[in-house]
Amino acid sequence: MSASTTETRRAAFGAVSAAFASLGRVCMALDAGLRVRHASQAVEGLLGAGAAARLVGRPVEELLGEELFGEGAPLRQALQAGERREGWRASLRGDGPGARLVSVTVAPLHHDPESACDPEAAYLVVMRPDEEDHLRATGPAGFAGLVAHSPAMVRVLRLVDQLRHRETTVLLQGESGTGKELVARAIHAHSPRRSGPFVAVSCAALPADLLESELFGHVRGAFTGAVRDRAGRFEVAQGGTLFLDEVGDLPLPLQVKLLRVLQERSYERVGDSTTLRADARIVAATHRDLRRAVEAGAFRDDLYYRLRVFPIELPPLRERREDIEPIARYLLLRVGERGGRALRFSPDALRALLSYPWPGNVRELENALEFAVTVSQGQTVRAEDLPPEVSGARLAAPEASPPGPPARAAVADHEGQRTALVAALDRSRWKVAEAARALGISRSTLWRRMRELGVSR
Ligand SMILES: Nc1ncnc2c1ncn2[C@@H]1O[C@H](COP(=O)(O)OP(=O)(O)OP(=O)(O)O)[C@@H](O)[C@H]1O
Ligand SMILES: [Mg+2]
């Protein structure tokens, strides 16, 4: 190849790059083996000086991740099938530590024989720095382990980020398994109290009197069995965050006591008159509709408003279907790592995951993958390795997000969920406790879902 041809091609790519750069985009051309052939100068804005030249010849999966570009991964598959994919989130890694979060679009290049373009360039990768990039770049640990692709979850991350310098009381609401505890931990890990403890208490797990001593502690002799003084969770969480899980289940007498702590920042151990100062930031969570509980008289409205200073709603997984695939891939990686296995999904397994309505949300997805990894042999998780209610869901809901008016989608969603619940119940011979365990939800949640969906034997 003559020097002038090389020069012409470089100039052609340079012109394309400049056009993309003026739109705030960075581009790369890949050869048929998915190695970088050209990288635009603008990549240096993300990876530092000299990066454009250093990237040439590198396999794209080293830069943008195996999850997207490894053997059998979605973007590699798409390119090899001659298809375009838009707006995928990826972390771009150079040689240094740290990564930049980018949104990636990939497309095969169609060559015009007359054009000056490099015929070896088979694919185009266009990247845009992700607007959430700074969330990862600034946090010490980033939002580790919290996968968020859907606009709804990106909004949640943004709220967590806005709380970064605050100690505001937060109320997390969402169905079982939507990630309330994970978000609570992220709030703590990004708060001024991150070096203090994160202490979780479930308000649903204990009867009222035990819960009171669990929260506030007791002194020796306060009640039968109180053989020594014991610090409560409020005390243990001093300087850190107290996560009040299932706060909607807090018995009314304790609601009064909690309200006092929130108002006056003080409390007493059970059986003691010494007043202690509460120095714990409160993050509360519930799967209940607290407003309705207030209307029904089961939850005090004054406490409700004290907790709801900064409400965050976690939508169910079926309402943020874009998250299913990335969370599934992330969890598969994690579950696989534990067993020392590198695993991937077959296309029909992925299709089944995408069409299932996930009444138990991310927790159910996690359980289903644990199950599949145990059942599967080899490196590929197939549809038939998934729990039957998941692999069978395709019959009920053929497409990931059914096209057509929202009402129709909602009906299909409702029907899909109903079918999945009935399937799980059938499998456990209608033993609700067993079905709930399989779905990764609590018994009461399952009863509630059955009522909502009109499922009965
Ligand atoms: N966005 C996410 N990315 C990765 N993992 C997630 C995400 N959301 C939830 N998970 C995982 O799913 C499981 C359930 O999440 P979590 O316990 O936070 O939910 P929860 O709302 O508190 O549920 P429950 O009401 O059942 O207690 C956890 O193992 C968590 O790590
Ligand atoms: Mg929880």
What is the distance between the alpha carbons of residues 98 and 90, in angstroms, rounded to a whole number? 13
Q: What is the pLDDT of residues 191-201, one digit of tens each?
A: 999 999 999 99
**Does residue 41 contact residue 61 with C-beta atoms inside 8 Å?**
no
Instruction: Extract the tokens encoding 250.
Output: 């807090």
- When pLDDT is cut at 50, 70 and 90, the band that residue 97 belongs to is low
The whole-model pTM stands at 0.65
Residue minimizing CA distance to atom 23 of ligand 1 = 177
Name the CATH superfamily, with its identifier, for domain 137-313.
Answer: P-loop containing nucleotide triphosphate hydrolases (3.40.50.300)
What is the distance between the alpha carbons of residues 28 and 90, in angstroms, rounded to a whole number? 15
Instruction: Extract the tokens encoding 130.
Output: 């992700």
Neighbour count for residue 11 (Cβ, 10 Å): 11
- CATH architecture assignment, domain 320-453: Orthogonal Bundle (1.10)
Looking at every residue in the chain, the average pLDDT score rounds to 86
Give CATH 1.10.8.60 domain extents, the chain: 320-453
Report the atom number in ligand 1 closest to the C-alpha of 442: 26
What is the CATH number that goes with domain 3-130?
3.30.450.20
Report the atom number in ligand 1 closest to the C-alpha of 148: 1
Q: What is the pLDDT of residues 251-295, one digit of tens each?
A: 999 999 999 999 999 999 999 999 999 999 999 999 999 999 999
For position 77, what pLDDT does the model report? 93
Poorest-confidence range of 26-30, 37-41, 177-181, 376-380? Answer: 376-380
Report the atom number in ligand 1 closest to the C-alpha of 182: 18
Tell me if residue 26 falls in helix, strand or coil.
strand
Please tell me the distance between residue 204's alpha carbon and the centre of ligand 2 in angstroms: 11
Residue minimizing CA distance to atom 8 of ligand 1 = 179
Please tell me the distance between residue 366's alpha carbon and the centre of ligand 1 in angstroms: 9
In this structure, the residues whose C-beta lies within 6 A of any atom of ligand 1 are 145-148, 174, 176-182, 287, 327, 330, 362-363, 366
Give CATH 3.40.50.300 domain extents, the chain: 137-313
| 269 burial via Cβ count (<10 Å: 0-12, 13-18, 19+) | buried
Whether pLDDT at 423 is above 60: yes
In sequence order, what are the beta bridge partners of 410?
Answer: none
Tell me if residue 361 falls in helix, strand or coil.
helix
Instruction: Extract the tokens encoding 108.
Output: 């095969």
Q: What is the pLDDT of residues 36-72, one digit of tens each?
A: 999 999 998 888 888 999 999 999 999 998 888 999 8
Mutate to test the pocket of ligand 1, among 155, 182, 320 (most ligand atoms within 8 A of CB): 182
For position 31, what pLDDT does the model report? 95
For position 293, what pLDDT does the model report? 96
For position 96, what pLDDT does the model report? 66
